[in-house]
C-alpha cells in the first residue's frame, strides 16, 4: 500500500490521481479483464500472451490451477476440472440438470457443493479463483494495487446469481464499483466507438447465458428500455444438441464422466468448425466405438432450430415490452462468442432485415465496455456518459393461495423503491411470514424463491386491521433489500433483510481472512491506513462541498459541521483507529442533510435555462 499523502484540507492542489480500475467479463466459457489505458479501453494480456482466460478451474490435492492449464485436465481428470461454473452460481441443486455436468454435485445447505480432490468447493469459491487470476493479470499489467472493478453479469441473472457473483468478487479481494449488465456494457463499447444515437438491440449469446436488451442511446445516456433472455441458454446448449445426436446414434455411455467429457469436447469442436466451414468431417474413437460423421451447416441448423427460435421469441418479447417494432430499430449489436454461428447471424439478420453490427470482437466487447464504465465511476474519464439499467424480472411476495403479488414489475429503471400494503387474515395475528419471489409467473412455485422472513410483534388486532407496509428496494447493482413494518401503531414492528444465499457476510469475512493469512500487526496497520484514506477523503470532499454550497446552511449548521470537521482533522494524525472511525462517522452523519440540500440544488441546476417556476424537492 502506498504511503499516505496528507495535505491541508481545502488546499489540495494535487492533480487528480489516476485510479487503477478494471472491467471484468466473467464468462461461462472464457473470462477477460480490460482497463482504459491512455484514454482507450484495452484487453489486458496474460503472461502467455493470450487475452481470453478459459473459465476453468482444476483442483488437485494441493494445488489450484486456472485457465488453459486447468483445461488440459478436462480429458484426464474431468471430476476435478470445473468448467461453466457460471451455470451453477447462485443456484441450488434442484435448479440444475446434473447430467449436463461431468462433476460430483450435491446439496450444500443453499449452495451447490462440488466434490474435488481439494475438498468441497462451492461455485462462489470456484468463481473467486478465476477472479483472483484476472486480478493478478491486471495488477501485473497496471503495475500496482487496484482501486476497484466493474464486473459484468447477464442482464437476466436473478438476485441470487447477482449476489453470489458479488460475493465471489469480495472473496477474490476485489473492490466492486458496480455490477453491470453484459448487454449494457457491450452497448457502451459500441456507443463510444460510433457516437451512436437511436434505438439499439443488443443480442448477447454467450457460452451459457442469453440476453437481449433494447436501449435508447442519446447524448451519452444509455437508457435500457427492456431486457429479456434466458440465464440457462447458451453455446453449451448448442454443443449439447450435437452430444444428444451422437449419443442417440452411437449409443455412447454418457453416465461415465470421462466419456461425457470427451463427447462434449468433440461437440464443441464440430460447432466451432462449422462457424467458418460449410461442412466438417469427423472420425474419432470414443469408448471403443468409431464415430464417423459428416456435419453440414444445414444439418446443424436443424439440430438447434428450437434453440434459435427461443432466442428470437425472447427478442420479440423484449421489443414488445419496449413498445417498439423491428423497423424502429437503428442498429443490432451482436455480442458473445456464440453469435459467430452463421445460423444465428442469419436468423437475427432476417428478423431485423438489416446488417448486424459485429465489427468489435464479440468475445472482447463486454470487458471493454466494463472497463470504460469503471474508468468513469472512478472519476478518471472525461466521457459524459450515464447508464440507466432496469430490473430484468418482476419482484413480489407470496399472498393467500400461493399467488404472487408483484411489487416491482420487470423493466423498471434502477435504482427504485416500491411499497405495497398487506394485512393480517386472522384475529389477533402477531406475526407474518414474508416470502420474497422473483419471476413473471402468477404461482409462487413457478417463480424463484429469494428469501423468507418473519415480521414479529405485530400488535394483536382484528383480522384485516393491521397495515403491513412491505418495501422493496433495488440498488444500482440490481440487488434487492426488503423491509416490512406495521404502520397503524406507534410500536413499530419492523424488519429489514437482504436475501443471502448460503454464504453469510461473516462466512465471507472468515474465508477472506484465512486466504490473506496476514500477520496480526499487518492487519492492524492495514486497517489504520484504510481508515485514514477514508477520513482524508471525507475531509477533502466536505471542504469542497462547503466552499461551493455553504450558503445552503444556517449559521449554526455550518458551525456544527465545521466543528466536526476540526475534530476529525485533530484525530487524523493519531494512530487511534477507533477514534478516527468515530469522528468520520460523526461528520458523515452530520453532513447528511447538507448532502440532501446539495442534491436538490443539483436538480435545480439540471433544469436551469428551462424556466424554473418553483422547484423544491
Partner 1 sequence: MTQNYFELFNLPEKFQIDSVKLQENYRSIQKEIHPDRFATSTENEKVQSMIKSTQVNDAYQTLKSPTKRAKYILSLHRSVEKITLPPDFLMQQMEWEEHLEDIEKKIKELDQFKLTINKKYEEYSLMLSTQIDNDQNWNEAAITIDKLYFVEKLLHKINIALN
Q: Report, as residue numbers or ranges, the catalytic residues.
A: 25, 86, 182, 204
Q: At its nearest, how many Å lie between partner 1 and the CB of residue 269? A: 35
Report how far residue 43's alpha carbon sits from residue 52's, in angstroms, rounded to the nearest whole number.
Answer: 9
Distance of CA 198 to the CA centre of its chain: 26
Length of the chain: 617
Please name the residue that has the C-alpha cell 494445488. 63
Q: Which of the 8 DSSP states describes residue 16?
A: P
Task: Provide the binding-site residues for partner 1, judged by CB under 8 A.
Answer: 19, 177-178, 218-219, 221, 223, 313, 316-317, 320, 376-379, 384, 386-388, 412-418, 473, 475-476, 537-538, 541-542, 588-589, 591-592, 594-596, 598-600, 602-603, 605-607, 610-617
Report how far residue 271's alpha carbon sits from residue 265's, in angstroms, rounded to the nearest whole number.
Answer: 10
User: Could you tell me the three cell numbers for 265?
Assistant: 469436447
Of 262 and 387, CB closest to partner 1: 387
Q: What dihedral do alpha carbons 291, 295, 299, 301 form, nearest 10°? A: 110
Of 491 and 616, CB closest to partner 1: 616
**Ordered alpha helix ranges (H), 274-429:** 297-321, 342-352, 365-377
Q: At its nearest, how many Å lie between partner 1 and the CB of residue 111? A: 29
The answer to whether 326 and 352 have CB atoms below 8 angstroms apart is: yes
Terminal Cα-to-Cα distance of the chain (whole angstroms): 42
Please name the residue that has the C-alpha cell 441448423. 301
Of 222 and 501, CB closest to partner 1: 222
Q: At its nearest, how many Å lie between partner 1 and the CB of residue 374? A: 9
Q: Is the peptide bond before 415 cis (omega within 30 degrees of 0)?
A: yes
Report how far residue 411's alpha carbon sits from residue 191's, in angstroms, rounded to the nearest whole number.
Answer: 21
Q: At its nearest, how many Å lie between partner 1 and the CB of residue 558? A: 16
Q: At its nearest, how many Å lie between partner 1 and the CB of residue 478? A: 12
Report how far residue 164's alpha carbon sits from residue 85's, in angstroms, rounded to the nearest whole number.
Answer: 12
Q: Which of 469, 472, 372, 468 is nearest to 412 (CA)?
A: 472
Q: At its nearest, how many Å lie between partner 1 and the CB of residue 429? A: 24
Query: Using H for helix, E for strand and C for coil, what is the string for 250-285?
Result: HCCCCCCHHHHHHHHHHHHHHHHHCCCCCEEEEEEE
Of 106 and 589, CB closest to partner 1: 589
Sheet containing 56-59: give its strands across. Answer: 64-66, 56-59, 81-83
Q: Give the orientation angle of helix 520-549 with respect to helix 555-572, to 10 degrees.
A: 150
Of 74 and 181, CB closest to partner 1: 181
Report how far residue 20's alpha carbon sits from residue 200's, in angstroms, rounded to the nearest whole number.
Answer: 31
Burial of 154 from C-beta contacts in 10 A (0-12 / 13-18 / 19+): buried
Neighbours of 269 (CB within 10 A): 15
Q: At its nearest, how many Å lie between partner 1 and the CB of residue 270? A: 32
Q: Is the peptide bond before 506 cis (omega within 30 degrees of 0)?
A: no
Report how far residue 336's alpha carbon sits from residue 361's, in angstroms, rounded to the nearest whole number.
Answer: 9
Q: At its nearest, how many Å lie between partner 1 and the CB of residue 45? A: 27
Q: Tell me the DSSP string of 320-345.
A: HHTT--GGG--EEEEESGGGGSHHHH
Of 62 and 613, CB closest to partner 1: 613
Q: At its nearest, how many Å lie between partner 1 and the CB of residue 587? A: 9
Which H or E run includes 403? strand 403-408
Those residues with Cβ within 8 angstroms of residue 303's Cβ, 6 or more apart along the chain or in another chain: 241, 242, 245
Q: At its nearest, how many Å lie between partner 1 and the CB of residue 166? A: 15
Of 139 and 475, CB closest to partner 1: 475
Amino acid at each position: 500500500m502506498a504511503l499516505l499523502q496528507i495535505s491541508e484540507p481545502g488546499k489540495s492542489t494535487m492533480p487528480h490521481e489516476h485510479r487503477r480500475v478494471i472491467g471484468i467479463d466473467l464468462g461461462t466459457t472464457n473470462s477477460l479483464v480490460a482497463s482504459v489505458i491512455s484514454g482507450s479501453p484495452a484487453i489486458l494480456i496474460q503472461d502467455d500472451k493470450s487475452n481470453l482466460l478459459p473459465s476453468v478451474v482444476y483442483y488437485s490435492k494441493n494445488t489450484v490451477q486456472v485457465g488453459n492449464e486447468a483445461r488440459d485436465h478436462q480429458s484426464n481428470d474431468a471430476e476435478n476440472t470445473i468448467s461453466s461454473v457460471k451455470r451453477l452460481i447462485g443456484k441450488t441443486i434442484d435448479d440444475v440438470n446434473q447430467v449436463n455436468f461431468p462433476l460430483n454435485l450435491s446439496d450444500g445447505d443453499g449452495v451447490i457443493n462440488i466434490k474435488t480432490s481439494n475438498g468441497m468447493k462451492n461455485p462462489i469459491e470456484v468463481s473467486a479463483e478465476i477472479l483472483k487470476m484476472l486480478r493478478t493479470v491486471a495488477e501485473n499489467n497496471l503495475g500496482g494495487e487496484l482501486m476497484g472493478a466493474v464486473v459484468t453479469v447477464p442482464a437476466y441473472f436473478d438476485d441470487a446469481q447477482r449476489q453470489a457473483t458479488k460475493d465471489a468478487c469480495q472473496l477474490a479481494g476485489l473492490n466492486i464499483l458496480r455490477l453491470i449488465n453484459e448487454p449494457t456494457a457491450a452497448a457502451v463499447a459500441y456507443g463510444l466507438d460510433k457516437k451512436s444515437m437511436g434505438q439499439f438491440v443488443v443480442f448477447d449469446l454467450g457460452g451459457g447465458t442469453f440476453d437481449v436488451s433494447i436501449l435508447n442511446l442519446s447524448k451519452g445516456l444509455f437508457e435500457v428500455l427492456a431486457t429479456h433472455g434466458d440465464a440457462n441458454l447458451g453455446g453449451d446448449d448448442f454443443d449439447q444438441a450435437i452430444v444428444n445426436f451422437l449419443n442417440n446414434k452411437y449409443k455412447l455411455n454418457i453416465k461415465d464422466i470421462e466419456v461425457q467429457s470427451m463427447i462434449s469436447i468433440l461437440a464443441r469442436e464440430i460447432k466451432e468448425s462449422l462457424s467458418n466451414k460449410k461442412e466438417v468431417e469427423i472420425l474419432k474413437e470414443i469408448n471403443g466405438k468409431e464415430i464417423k460423421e459428416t456435419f453440414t451447416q444445414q444439418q446443424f441448423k436443424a439440430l438447434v432450430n428450437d434453440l434459435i427460435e427461443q432466442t428470437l421469441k425472447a427478442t420479440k418479447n423484449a421489443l414488445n415490452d419496449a413498445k417498439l417494432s423491428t423497423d424502429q430499430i437503428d442498429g443490432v449489436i451482436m455480442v458473445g462468442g456464440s453469435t459467430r454461428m452463421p445460423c444465428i447471424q442469419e436468423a437475427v439478420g432476417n428478423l431485423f432485415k438489416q446488417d448486424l453490427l459485429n465489427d468489435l470482437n464479440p468475445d472482447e466487447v463486454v470487458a471493454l465496455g466494463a472497463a470504460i464504465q469503471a474508468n468513469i465511476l472512478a472519476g478518471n474519464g472525461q466521457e459524459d456518459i450515464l447508464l440507466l439499467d432496469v430490473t430484468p424480472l418482476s419482484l413480489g411476495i407470496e399472498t393467500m393461495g400461493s399467488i404472487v403479488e408483484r411489487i416491482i414489475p420487470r423493466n423498471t429503471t434502477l435504482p427504485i423503491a416500491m411499497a405495497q400494503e398487506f394485512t393480517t387474515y386472522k384475529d389477533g395475528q402477531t406475526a407474518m411470514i414474508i416470502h420474497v419471489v422473483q419471476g413473471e409467473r402468477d404461482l409462487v412455485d413457478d417463480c424463484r424463491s429469494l428469501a423468507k422472513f418473519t415480521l414479529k410483534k405485530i400488535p394483536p388486532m382484528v383480522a384485516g386491521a393491521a397495515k403491513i407496509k412491505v418495501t422493496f428496494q433495488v440498488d444500482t447493482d440490481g440487488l434487492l433489500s426488503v423491509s416490512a413494518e406495521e404502520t397503524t401503531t406507534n410500536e413499530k414492528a419492523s424488519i429489514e433483510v437482504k436475501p443471502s444465499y448460503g454464504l453469510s457476510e461473516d462466512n465471507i469475512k472468515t474465508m477472506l481472512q484465512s486466504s490473506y493469512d496476514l500477520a496480526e500487526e499487518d492487519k492492524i496497520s492495514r486497517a489504520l491506513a484504510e481508515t485514514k484514506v477514508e477520513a482524508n477523503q471525507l475531509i477533502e470532499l466536505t471542504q469542497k462541498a462547503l466552499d461551493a454550497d455553504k450558503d445552503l446552511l444556517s449559521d449554526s449548521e455550518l458551525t456544527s459541521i465545521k466543528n466536526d470537521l476540526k475534530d476529525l482533522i485533530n484525530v487524523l494524525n493519531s494512530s487511534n483507529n477507533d477514534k478516527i472511525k468515530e469522528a468520520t462517522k460523526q461528520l458523515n452523519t452530520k453532513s447528511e442533510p447538507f448532502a440532501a440540500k446539495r442534491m436538490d440544488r443539483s436538480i435545480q441546476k439540471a433544469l436551469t435555462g428551462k424556466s424554473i417556476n418553483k422547484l423544491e424537492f
